[in-house]
Amino acid sequence: MSAMTAGAGTLIIGRNALAFPSPTTCTGVDPFQIISLGKSGLKTTLLGMGTGYSGYNKSSNITRAGKDTAIALIRYAYESGIRFFDCADAYGTHPHTMEALKDFPRESYTLCSKILVSKSGVTSPENPDADIVVDRFRKELNTDYIDLIQIHLMTSGKWTDEQKKQMDILETLKTKKIIRAHGVSVHSLDAMRAAAVSPWVDVIHCRINPFGVSMDSRDPGEVVPVIEQMHKSGKGIIGMKLIGNGSYRDDSEKIDQTISFVLGLGSVDLIIIGFEFPQQIDNFVSRMRNSVSTAGKI
């Protein structure tokens, strides 16, 4: 499955892995604790909801399940305690997210979305300048501002040069308080390394798990030091692809290993999970509360 069809920053827990973890001697974490996304100024919950599992052509699994299902799921996530909602133009979930959250105070939750750009940075009717796209996003989400806008699916090690125009536009939007922070979602180690040295990046989505599945390197040992470098420099780190794009969704032990590994790194500020059913939210919350820190080691 391609990066586009896989969606960004999401996973699904299979029905065979929904049994709650056995009680153990554990440190555990509160999934709803308030964290800071680096020096971006954004504060939100440790656990966020991704809305784009199998997201492509402005749809995702939850939108394909039906409008009412998508709205109910996002609302359930909020009522459970999740306050970070990860959207993208490619997922088609803006209207559902808006409808699900309309009754809650806008300042009580954090909205993230992502813009698609051409690899060369050249605009087109399909990929206009970022200010035009963000203005549409605000209408679709019925909000005056969006907390975080990411440039989506960067793979080139030269993306900071190729997307300079869009980066400058997003910086202007931040100055005007139309957005609160900006950054990138990367899908290659070269793109991640470019983000690591870019002062423009406030927040970055990184693919991370202990098994090297659907990551920017098959070796987590190559990815972790770059994440640590970015975290130390003050960039906010959002962990995605924790379950290897769902590849071990039915393996309860691996899911628990991943949670412990990622939380044990100490350099991932927030994790986003692409839930499809309310019981998956309950299950993942329980797993985090019963997690055993492995200090980033398998």
Q: What's residue 59's pLDDT?
A: 65
**225: confidence class by pLDDT, cuts 50, 70, 90:** very high
Q: What is the pLDDT of residues 82-98, one digit of tens each?
A: 999 999 999 999 999 99
Q: What's residue 25's pLDDT?
A: 39
In this predicted structure, the answer to whether residue 8 has a pLDDT above a threshold of 80 is no
Q: Is 245 helix (H, G, I), strand (E, B) or coil?
A: coil
Angle 114-145-85 (CA atoms, 0-180°, nearest 5)?
50
Q: What's residue 62's pLDDT?
A: 87
Closest among 150, 225, 213 to 186, alpha carbons compared = 150
Q: What is the pLDDT of residues 230-271, one digit of tens each?
A: 999 999 999 999 998 888 888 999 999 999 999 999 999 999
Helices (H) and strands (E) in the chain, counts: 11, 10
SS (H, E, C) 17-59: HCCCCCCCCCCCCCCCCEEECCCCCCEEECEEEECCCCCECCE
**C-alpha to C-alpha distance for 229 and 211, rounded to whole angstroms:** 21
For residues 285-289, give the mean pLDDT. 96
In this predicted structure, the answer to whether residue 48 has a pLDDT above a threshold of 90 is yes
Give 138 or 125, the one with higher predicted confidence: 138
Q: What's residue 12's pLDDT?
A: 44
What tokens does 67 get?
């409008």
Contact 127, 118 (CB under 8 A): yes
Q: What's residue 125's pLDDT?
A: 80
In this predicted structure, the answer to whether residue 135 has a pLDDT above a threshold of 90 is yes
**99: confidence class by pLDDT, cuts 50, 70, 90:** very high
**C-alpha to C-alpha distance for 209 and 224, rounded to whole angstroms:** 10
- What single DSSP character describes residue 106? G
**65: confidence class by pLDDT, cuts 50, 70, 90:** confident
**C-alpha to C-alpha distance for 286 and 128, rounded to whole angstroms:** 42
Cα of first residue to Cα of last residue in the chain, in angstroms, is: 26
Q: What's residue 53's pLDDT?
A: 67
For residues 181-194, give the mean pLDDT. 98
In this predicted structure, the answer to whether residue 189 has a pLDDT above a threshold of 70 is yes
Q: What's residue 294's pLDDT?
A: 55
What average pLDDT does the structure give for the chain?
Answer: 89
- pTM here is 0.90
In this predicted structure, the answer to whether residue 298 has a pLDDT above a threshold of 60 is no
Q: What is the pLDDT of residues 110-130, one digit of tens each?
A: 999 999 998 877 777 878 999
Give 41 or 60, the one with higher predicted confidence: 41
For residues 15-28, give the mean pLDDT. 49
* Residue that the structure tokens 């065979």 belong to: 16
CATH 3.20.20.100 fits 24-289, yes or no: yes
